[in-house]
Structure 1
Amino acid sequence: MTEAETFDAVVIGAGPNGLVAANLLAEAGWEVLVLEAAPDPGGAVRTTEIAPGFRSDRCSAFYPLAGVSPVMRGLGLERHGLRWRRAPDVLAHVLPDGRAAVLSQDLDRTARSLDEFAPGDGDAWRTEFERWRRVREHLIEAMLRPFPPVRAGSRLLRALGAGSALRFARDLVLPARRFGEERFTGEGARLLIAGNALHSGLGPDQAGSGLFGWLLAMVGQDVGFPVPEGGAGSLTAALVARLASLGGRIDCNRPAAKILHARGIAVGVRDGEGGLIRARRAVLADVAAPHLYLDLIGGEHLPARLSADLKSFEWDPATVKVDWALDGPVPWTAEGAARAGTVHLGADLDGLSTMGAELASGRDPREPFLLMGQMTTTDPTRSPAGTETLWAYTRLPRGGEWNADRVRRAVDRIEATVERHAPGFGDRVTARLVSGPRELQGLDRNLDEGAINGGAAAVHQQLFFRPVPGLARADTVLDRLFLASASAHPGGAVHGAAGANAARAAMARNGPAGGGYRAAVAGAHRLLYRED
């Protein structure tokens, strides 16, 4: 038998959260090994050529939260080859009647667009943006740090004042529709909020969707929706290069099969070939919570209450995505869409609500709402001059049979929607790549049926309810094992927080106060999982 390898930490999964965690541990002097099941690192952050010279991102593409995340900014990835690019306009929401609400980093341009829908909405948007600038640093810190965010929360309270803070807390749980109705008169501004909420998988009538919509809209107004020059894979490449410069190691084509543990302590990992890797200090898992607990640990080793909680874990909706190579720009009828990196297409506010109801009732939406990316418009290196690399995705209910016919019908609806708003679009398509739920899950096991958020973002599965009722921290039921994926607080998007929180927890557990840390976590778990 091959002798077991030994590292300070083993990180399972080379997605962005796993790579962030590995970087922070290696920076602290730990000897780190990252195990990745796929042939290449990156998880859902990867780029491919759909035709010669046409580079498209298979999964995630725009990174607004990376632009404001203290975790990502603190890594200094620009020193490792990363360069950010931005479109002339951030986003356009195209209504069924052909009008478009435009979000631009130019605040005056955004305001003018919204005033076309309702005079005065431009000033109302300025008011929201001023509020954002007042709370930005403290709010982002509070959202991305482990719960409860005592220091950041205190600073946020001081910045707002007690009365305003109470009203702001109410705003955080409003549905996007209600949030928009309370602030704006016209449909344009309301749709910028509601459409951005859809990025989280939440419909406009779900509690908490207003927060997601407002947050993304304000981040877009502030820093845009940046993309890595050359493709999302450039972000992965920078994380990998930084880790290599610190002595970290990544083994691809090497899946983890089991977490090794003894007396309630994680001690290492067994890989898919039976090889053993000992972990002196910690194991960190950038994998979905159900996979970690039920497969890598094993349900038989879990407290009964935790096993029951995991049965209630809710994934976000499934996804169908299409990438296209076009021999010219998209022939939009809505002028506002031509300069936008991100385009929302196919629904007004009532249409978004209808789609949310259809998803909730398990029906494929008749009129899909599309999230689209004009990648060459955003980053001219993505395709030859005068052409466009374009993608669109839509959400579908989970479950059922994902056969070729069901995916084809979804693609037909997607392309018909684009054609209505860009007559002649189909004639410009020179190559197409379809990714249904099975294909997306095949790219990254964490994308279960194309669930791109690591689990539903609804309020019942956020903070100390994520991934199950618990501590809202990276600690797991095993000592020295930490959950580092989007299944953990604070959830989806490429901000690196879940990985950073897991790395910090691992370092705290192995620090001078590690004994007290372990005792506190163990005590909390006894309360959580004891049978009444």
Structure 2
Amino acid sequence: MLPRSVDAVVIGSGPNGLVSAITLADAGWDVLVLEAADTFGGAVRSTEGGGWISDRFSSNYPLGVASPVLRALELEKFGLKWAHAPLPLVHLLDSDGAAAAIHPDPEDTAKSIGAEHPGDGDAWLRLYQQYVSIREPLLKALLTTWPPIGPGVKLARKLGSAGELLRFARFMAMPMHRMGQELFDGRQGPAIIAGNSLHADAPLSGAVSGTMGWLLAMLAQDVGFPVVAGGSSAFSGAMVRRAERAGALLVSGTPVTGLEVSAGRVTAVHTASGESVLVERAVVADTSAPVLYGELLPQVLIPGGLRRDLDDRFEWDYPTVKLNFRLNGPIPWLAPEARSAGVVHLGGTADELVHLSADLDTGRVPSQPFLLIGQTTKSDLTRSPDGTEAVWAYAHLPRGVADDASAEKLAGRMERAIERFAPGFGDLVIDRDLQRPSTLESGNAALGLGAVGGGTMQLHQQLIFRPTIGLGSARTFVEGLYLGSSAIHPGGGVHGACGHLAARTALRDASLLGPLTRKLPTATLRHLQR
């Protein structure tokens, strides 16, 4: 039996939804979280059986460690434990065993990256030192406020001059390919940036793709690529306990089927069981933009411009194909460093990855796919029985190609790619579980077409263009309704920022200053989306 009325309903219990619930409950609000699935966590979930633990969606969490939003929750007090492999990341350059590795010690990373060109090692150290010098205001600017005025001012001060600020802005706008050329002379450095860029979906020759690769590479050096001890559900479990401690009520197995709007304001949520909950202050939707605007809101209310933007311009990120392996021993990589890495990038040089990126953007399924591989037992020995290895690998299909047959074809190419870089891999496979784009979406409706980022991370769908033309904030054209998922700035990744921004916006709008903070932005948004 659901409560008849609450201050706020949060739809969805992914990390963003749970951050929203915690933030609102900490402020004294009566908060109800409604989760459609039988378990909480959204795309942060794992399964157990027979001594094996499998992360079903996300797995490695550098942003989870570094995010100021999640650090402030002190989840370690609620059972969260991070687990690290000896090496955070190895990028395989060719099947002869050449590789570049990020080590816990930056000096060791510099030796790996400078193996062919010693000057590249020095370049890596300079790059990392600059990151460390601006880390705090940069992460706060990216993850804690919108627009990021305060942290942005602090970042500018850290950079020291107007000239350095402009150079940094240019650096952040660069395509990955150009960034690699400017920073390094050899193959290793650009490959590290390129592989990390492909965690997102910006074309490697397109604007801001360098920023994505640079930031993840710096995080790998700074905090590693850890998993959660005991499986990713332990991460969600810690957040659930934190939310319950704050006073939030969480209910699973309860899909929300619709929202009621009266006089331009959200007033109630309706569930699949026929129950309705009155909403006094806010609804935060940790859902995809198409689900919120295409399924939950009355269609007669959707502004024409917003509907056209969603139908004609909204773009998902790449469909994902994920393989989960149970192996009776460690993968016999030809590159020694890969044998102790938590994450392995398999895909070749930066130039080769630019060609692969072009294949994805022109609708071709890559014949030699880029693989992101998680060797979870390397990080956490509880993931599999003694002497065995739990491993997952994922790759991408082109946009618009998400059918099961294409997923099967890509999965075969993925397995053959691992075999080339680790002869004998196939003999170790006890079993394998294929998650197609359709499987991912059926497991979590927010992963439309198997896309895990809430929408493309390219510049045309970032900032004030995310998820469509607007103000870049969590606000919607309906008062009291906030989009609090990776569909809004800053986008994909387990960092909690989207949920934090949605909750903070809701709190401001419900404060004594609410008439000032919400009326003009809401009116402006309605004007832009009409």
Aligned partner of residue 199 in structure 1, secondary structure:
coil
Mapping 1:96-495, distance limit 5 Å = 96=94, 97-160=96-159, 161-311=161-311, 312-400=313-401, 402-403=403-404, 405-495=405-495
**Amino acid aligned to 1:134:** S
- Once residues 443 and 422 of structure 2 are traced to their aligned partners in structure 1, the CA distance between those partners, rounded to angstroms, is 30
Report how far residue 26 of structure 1 moved: 1.1
**More deviation, 7-16/201-210:** 201-210
- Once residues 37 and 130 of structure 2 are traced to their aligned partners in structure 1, the CA distance between those partners, rounded to angstroms, is 43
Mapping 1:45-124, distance limit 5 Å = 45-49=44-48, 52-96=50-94, 97-124=96-123
- Once residues 401 and 473 of structure 2 are traced to their aligned partners in structure 1, the CA distance between those partners, rounded to angstroms, is 33
**Amino acid aligned to 1:38:** A
**Amino acid aligned to 1:518:** R
Question: Contact between 1:47 and 1:232, CA under 8 Å: does it hold in 2?
Answer: yes
- Once residues 81 and 88 of structure 1 are traced to their aligned partners in structure 2, the CA distance between those partners, rounded to angstroms, is 23
- Once residues 84 and 401 of structure 2 are traced to their aligned partners in structure 1, the CA distance between those partners, rounded to angstroms, is 38
**Amino acid aligned to 2:403:** W
**Amino acid aligned to 1:380:** L
Report how far residue 423 of structure 1 moved: 0.9
- Once residues 406 and 167 of structure 1 are traced to their aligned partners in structure 2, the CA distance between those partners, rounded to angstroms, is 43
**Amino acid aligned to 1:164:** E
Report how far residue 266 of structure 1 moved: 0.7
* TM-score normalized by the length of structure 2: 0.97
1:125-165 CA-partner distances (Å, limit 9, x unpaired): 00001110111011111111343211011011111021111
Question: Contact between 1:147 and 1:463, CA under 8 Å: does it hold in 2?
Answer: no
Alpha-carbon spacing, 1:280–1:76, altered in 2? closer, same or farther (3 Å): same
1:140-193 CA-partner distances (Å, limit 9, x unpaired): 111113432110110111110211110000011111110010011111011111
Question: Contact between 2:117 and 2:185, CA under 8 Å: does it hold in 1?
Answer: yes
Alpha-carbon spacing, 1:450–1:132, altered in 2? closer, same or farther (3 Å): same
**Amino acid aligned to 2:34:** L
Mapping 1:497-508, distance limit 5 Å = 497-508=497-508
Report how far residue 274 of structure 1 moved: 2.1
Q: How many residues align?
A: 527
- Once residues 373 and 321 of structure 2 are traced to their aligned partners in structure 1, the CA distance between those partners, rounded to angstroms, is 12
**More deviation, 93-102/185-194:** 93-102
**More deviation, 194-203/8-17:** 194-203
- Once residues 526 and 465 of structure 1 are traced to their aligned partners in structure 2, the CA distance between those partners, rounded to angstroms, is 15
Aligned partner of residue 372 in structure 1, secondary structure:
strand
Aligned partner of residue 294 in structure 2, secondary structure:
helix
**Amino acid aligned to 1:215:** L
**Amino acid aligned to 1:297:** L
Aligned partner of residue 254 in structure 1, secondary structure:
coil
- Once residues 3 and 92 of structure 1 are traced to their aligned partners in structure 2, the CA distance between those partners, rounded to angstroms, is 49
1:394-433 CA-partner distances (Å, limit 9, x unpaired): 0001334623x43222111111000111111111111211
Question: Contact between 2:470 and 2:529, CA under 8 Å: does it hold in 1?
Answer: no
**More deviation, 424-433/452-461:** 424-433
Aligned partner of residue 56 in structure 1, secondary structure:
strand
Report how far residue 226 of structure 1 moved: 1.7
Aligned partner of residue 297 in structure 2, secondary structure:
helix
Q: Which residue of 1 aligns with 2:15?
A: 16
Percent of paired sites with the same residue? 46
**More deviation, 275-284/4-13:** 4-13
- Once residues 276 and 387 of structure 1 are traced to their aligned partners in structure 2, the CA distance between those partners, rounded to angstroms, is 49
1:35 maps onto 2:54 in alignment: no
Question: Contact between 1:147 and 1:471, CA under 8 Å: does it hold in 2?
Answer: no
**More deviation, 180-189/351-360:** 351-360
Question: Contact between 2:477 and 2:526, CA under 8 Å: does it hold in 1?
Answer: no
* TM-score normalized by the length of structure 1: 0.97
- Once residues 216 and 526 of structure 2 are traced to their aligned partners in structure 1, the CA distance between those partners, rounded to angstroms, is 38
Report how far residue 526 of structure 1 moved: 4.2
Report how far residue 518 of structure 1 moved: 2.2
- Once residues 304 and 286 of structure 1 are traced to their aligned partners in structure 2, the CA distance between those partners, rounded to angstroms, is 23
**Amino acid aligned to 1:406:** S
Q: Which residue of 1 aligns with 2:4?
A: 5
Alpha-carbon spacing, 1:297–1:163, altered in 2? closer, same or farther (3 Å): same
Report how far residue 515 of structure 1 moved: 1.3
**More deviation, 482-491/392-401:** 392-401
Report how far residue 449 of structure 1 moved: 1.5
- Once residues 315 and 373 of structure 2 are traced to their aligned partners in structure 1, the CA distance between those partners, rounded to angstroms, is 25
- Once residues 2 and 30 of structure 2 are traced to their aligned partners in structure 1, the CA distance between those partners, rounded to angstroms, is 18
**More deviation, 241-250/317-326:** 241-250
- Once residues 195 and 526 of structure 1 are traced to their aligned partners in structure 2, the CA distance between those partners, rounded to angstroms, is 40
Report how far residue 16 of structure 1 moved: 0.7
Question: Contact between 1:299 and 1:307, CA under 8 Å: does it hold in 2?
Answer: no
Report how far residue 218 of structure 1 moved: 0.6
Q: Which residue of 1 aligns with 2:524?
A: 524
1:212-245 CA-partner distances (Å, limit 9, x unpaired): 0000001111111121101111100001111112
**Amino acid aligned to 1:135:** I
**Amino acid aligned to 2:114:** D
Unaligned runs of at least 5 residues, structure 2: none
**Amino acid aligned to 1:440:** L
**Amino acid aligned to 1:158:** R
Report how far residue 350 of structure 1 moved: 2.4
